[in-house]
């Protein structure tokens, strides 16, 4: 790819940092996700709604908000927090690789669609940090995009992933390799858009 093309894509990706455009792009590139992904998130909740939940990388509109919860949202972009702060329990500016919370602070810790923006080392550290701030008996949930099993079976999904601004879409095996080995993780792979985009959900209880 030519240098000019790289600059062009970088400028376009920066535009998506503007929350209204980010949301429009999500609707256009992931049709049906608003319904299917929200159902998957809701299905993970079995508590009575009083749990203190952290959403790492909450974005301009947390998926947990869409599922009817009011988490503490953490993001590195102030604009995203300003967009969603009215609905969040609290909005915190910070990085998932160094969570600004004491150990065992939350009943549940979530990350939805964040890790494919990070290197392997950073993504693994985020999961370690998520586990650290979750109390014993609490739940850690990691959800992230994965490559289609076959680009020929789902060409639209493959092309969408190819141009994803995150830049670090992984295979299921590569994503699972980031999970800390000192916990029992359950994983579920599912399709969540009309174009066949796939996501891997991983969760465990902290012991």
Report which DSSP code applies to 170.
Answer: B
Instruction: Check residue 165 and give its pLDDT.
Output: 66
State how far the Cα of 48 lies from the Cα of 149, in Å rounded to an integer: 37
Return the ∠ at Cα 174 (arms to 26 and 183), rounded to 5°: 100
Look at the domain 30-205 and name its fold: Rossmann fold (3.40.50)
Tell me the pLDDT of the chain (207 aa) as tens digits.
Answer: 333 333 333 443 454 555 555 555 555 566 667 788 899 999 998 777 789 999 999 988 899 998 999 999 999 989 889 887 778 999 999 999 999 999 999 999 999 999 999 999 999 999 999 999 999 999 999 999 998 877 777 777 777 777 666 678 999 999 999 999 989 999 999 998 888 888 999 999 999
C-alpha span between 92 and 85 (Å, rounded): 9
Taking alpha carbons only, the member of 18, 43, 23 closest to residue 33 is 23
- The answer to whether the beta carbons of residues 51 and 70 sit under 8 Å apart is no
Residue 87 CA to residue 4 CA, distance in Å, equals 40
Identify the pLDDT of residue 11: 40
* Residue 142, both tokens: 């990691």
Report the alpha-carbon distance of residue 185 to residue 202 in Å, rounded.
6
pLDDT of residue 28: 57
For residue 31, what pLDDT is reported? Answer: 62
CB atoms within 10 A of CB 49: 9
pTM of the complete model: 0.83
Distance CA 182, CA 203 (A): 13
- What count of residues does the chain have? 207
Q: Which of 46, 180, 163, 68 is nearest to 124 (CA)?
A: 180
């Amino acid at each position: 790819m030519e240098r000019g093309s790289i600059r062009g894509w970088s400028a376009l990706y920066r535009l998506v940092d503007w929350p209204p455009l980010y949301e429009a792009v999500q609707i256009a590139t992931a049709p049906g996700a608003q319904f299917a992904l929200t159902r998957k998130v809701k299905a993970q909740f079995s508590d009575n709604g009083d749990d203190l939940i952290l959403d790492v990388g909450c974005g301009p509109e947390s998926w947990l908000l869409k599922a009817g919860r009011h988490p503490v949202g953490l993001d590195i972009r102030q604009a995203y927090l300003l967009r969603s702060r009215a609905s969040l329990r609290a909005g915190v500016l910070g990085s998932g690789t160094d969570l600004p919370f004491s150990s065992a602070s939350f009943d549940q810790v979530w990350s939805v669609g964040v890790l494919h923006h990070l290197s392997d080392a950073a993504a693994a550290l985020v999961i370690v940090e998520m586990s650290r701030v979750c109390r014993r008996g609490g739940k850690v949930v990691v959800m992230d995009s994965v490559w289609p099993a076959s680009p020929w079976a789902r060409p639209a999904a493959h092309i969408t992933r190819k141009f994803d601004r995150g830049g670090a879409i992984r295979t299921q095996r590569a994503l699972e390799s980031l999970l800390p080995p000192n916990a029992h993780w359950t994983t579920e792979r599912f399709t969540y858009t009309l174009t066949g985009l796939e996501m891997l959900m991983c969760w465990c209880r902290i012991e």
